[in-house]
A and B are shown apart, each in its own frame.
Chain A
């Protein structure tokens, strides 16, 4: 399978080291909710991580989508609460807007002073009229969302405090927060418009989706590794439970599922910038969402009672996977995108 290059591995391991014990911070964030601790995020920004995908002329690293996948597989697997994935994908969009407001949002984001994150259209809103959904909402000082299409396309910035009264943040199971809000431009600031910005926005949406897909597979792989280790040490009936064929075959099936999911994520990374980008990212997100959820369910089951306990990091993995699967386009929403793109006729 595709393995990160030596450079990508180095980059990923640096990010992992910087994030440290992410699971412990996620637990702390859960206890302190909705307050967040920005200290590690500031270090992440000082090290330049949010500029990973930004072009070199804009002061970024000019990294590829494959670099991003390698990094995010690693950082998500630390279970850290800091929203590196969504922050990464928005910087090229802000850089493309060509407005003073967008430039300022970008500068403040890169410095770690304030964070702008994208809200997406909610394809299946539970409450009618709440058209937009933003994840990591307690981290976002500003929410970026889009309306219209073509020459009518508009990109908006909404200060989070302006939403607090009518659209307060809602707690998510992973210790984070979500905000849903109606499409109305009252109090919204336009930060970009037109076809070029729309294309940059679509690309950012795809990057965010792909990053989440990489994260889902990173967490699923971590959970599977924990499970394999457990099967080797847990003794019952006088032998390690991993010696039982009934469990071996299930573990092997999980391994195959992870291999396929990761391969699709990397392949989608290669499609970035091509005509297949949208379909490929939707496929990667759809597949990784269902695969990671299935893998985590099995990992809990294979652990037995300890798998259902919150004391063990598997619980943090489980809740993070459930949240990520529901964010940035669920498997169903992505399937709808794919169906539209390939049509009922199938693609050629």
Chain B
């Protein structure tokens, strides 16, 4: 962060740093993969108990109501110490959706459980035949009395094999244009009729899975908003709620990795690589600036530009990791992180994982289409 911190902000940073140093178990530092659920959720609950798990949630919902600068301080300190990546679907996606669109009963049931780390959420949007063209989804929800019966197939579900609940889009009406017949529904993944199959990724890990629904019966009150009006929830979800996709969290982690490499290389770092290190520093500074200023604009009630932020955030991470690969030299292909001169250096794993960033949450091609349409207002048509 380039802007100077106030005395309170400096004190907050000292608190965060000291707390992380004291509380974060060493076996959870500098992991390149998300830890398994027991370890991940134990740490999640420690952060929750400290009051820092939901910096961007309003205080009214039990969040921290943190200022933009406080949010960035938390991200920077987590990156610095190598804190583990935690599941975010509850905190960043379904939590804010329920805060806005949930019934009192849905809020009371689910928001505290997200905040306290009692449940892990996953997202059921993508299907084998509906990725970027999400409205083409075919998983069906048949209304029978006060129940919905769900049948179909979701895929690329991040951490779905570890999750307890999934929020999903299902087709509840075939007689209307395709975006008007979709419902948004909350599904307990332990319900009868659900089968999950983990999928191995490019990074040689089980980060996502596919989920099969075979006549899964759910009470109708697990629909969020009205039946057939689920698409509005996805699109009406205000820009500010999508901003977390553009947070510098991953870029800061990647930069920390590059800084450690540079520290280890020290005097051996040649001029060209030093220039690339500077390029990484500038790129992350620009992203952090854009993120801070976006949060501030939202606080002032101004329109934000979450698609630009998502592109900037994910492509910055990928750029920084490209630079990291060059700094690694012949070690770039090593599979396992190693401790070198007192620093844990990850060679390849973050790089492999980072390919997903420009694909998930709406591919960066979809985001460019949104910018073209909504921000630049270029004419439609000609799209294949």
Contacts and interface: CB of A to CB of B under 8 A. Distances in A.
Interface in A293-348: 332, 335, 338-339, 342, 344-348
A119 to B, nearest CB: 25
A197 interface: no
A279 B2 contact: yes
Nearest to A240: B379
A266 B289 contact: yes
A245 interface: yes
Contacts of B302: 3
A16 interface: no
A341 to B, nearest CB: 10
Given A261-B286, A339-B275, A280 B296 contact: no
B263 interface: yes
A109 interface: no
B297 A243 contact: no
Interface string B287-303: 11110111011000010
A3 to B, nearest CB: 7
B266 to A, nearest CB: 6
A346 B259 contact: yes
A253 interface: yes
Interface residues of A, number: 48
B274 A344 contact: yes
B286 A264 contact: yes
Contact of B286 (A253, A263, A339): A263
Contacts of B340: none
A261 B379 CA distance: 26
Nearest to B302: A3
A50 to B, nearest CB: 27
Contact of B281 (A3, A244, A274, A338): A338
Given A249-B368, A346-B262, A266 B281 contact: no
A283 B285 contact: yes
- Report which residue of B4, B80, B259, B285 has the largest number of chain A beta carbons within 10 angstroms of its beta carbon: B285
A260 interface: yes
B175 interface: no
Contacts of B287: 260
Interface string A258-286: 01110110111011011110011001001
B43 to A, nearest CB: 24
Interface stretch (B166-174, B232-240, B305-313, B347-355): B305-313
A263 B379 contact: no
A1 B3 contact: no
Given A248-B372, A286-B282, A255 B308 contact: yes
B378 A243 contact: yes
| Chain A interface helix/strand/loop/mixed | helix
Contact of B266 (A267, A339, A345): A345
Nearest to A287: B282
A342 B281 contact: yes
Contacts of A342: 278, 281
A231 interface: yes
Given A279-B2, A335-B279, A344-B269, A232 B379 contact: yes
What are the 3 closest A-B residue pairs judged by CB atoms, nearest first?
A: A346-B259, A267-B289, A248-B372
B376 A255 contact: yes
A232 B380 CA distance: 10
B384 interface: yes
B269 A245 contact: no
21 contacts: A1-B294, A1-B297, A2-B296, A240-B379, A243-B381, A251-B372, A252-B311, A252-B371, A252-B376, A253-B368, A260-B287, A261-B286, A263-B286, A264-B289, A275-B4, A276-B3, A279-B2, A287-B282, A345-B263, A346-B258, A348-B80
Contacts of A338: 278, 281-282
B286 A249 contact: no
Contacts of A339: 274-275, 277-278
Interface in B80-106: 80
Given A286-B278, A335-B282, 7 more contacts: A232-B377, A242-B378, A249-B365, A253-B368, A259-B308, A263-B286, A346-B277
B282 A239 contact: no
A248 B292 CA distance: 27
Interface of A: 1-3, 228, 231-232, 239-240, 242-245, 248-249, 251-253, 255-256, 259-261, 263-264, 266-268, 270-271, 273-276, 279-280, 283, 286-287, 332, 335, 338-339, 342, 344-348
B321 to A, nearest CB: 15
B383 interface: yes
Interface string B189-206: 000000000000000000
A206 to B, nearest CB: 12
B76 to A, nearest CB: 10
A240 to B, nearest CB: 5
Contacts of A348: 80
Contact of A245 (B4, B265, B293, B382): B382
Contacts of B269: 344
B246 to A, nearest CB: 11
A263 B376 contact: no
Interface in B1-51: 2-4
Contacts of A245: 369, 372, 382-384
Contacts of B294: 1
A242 B4 contact: no
Contacts of B333: none
A23 to B, nearest CB: 23
Contacts of A253: 311, 368
Contacts of A242: 378-379
A345 B311 CA distance: 29
A242 B379 CA distance: 6
B267 interface: yes
A255 B369 CA distance: 12
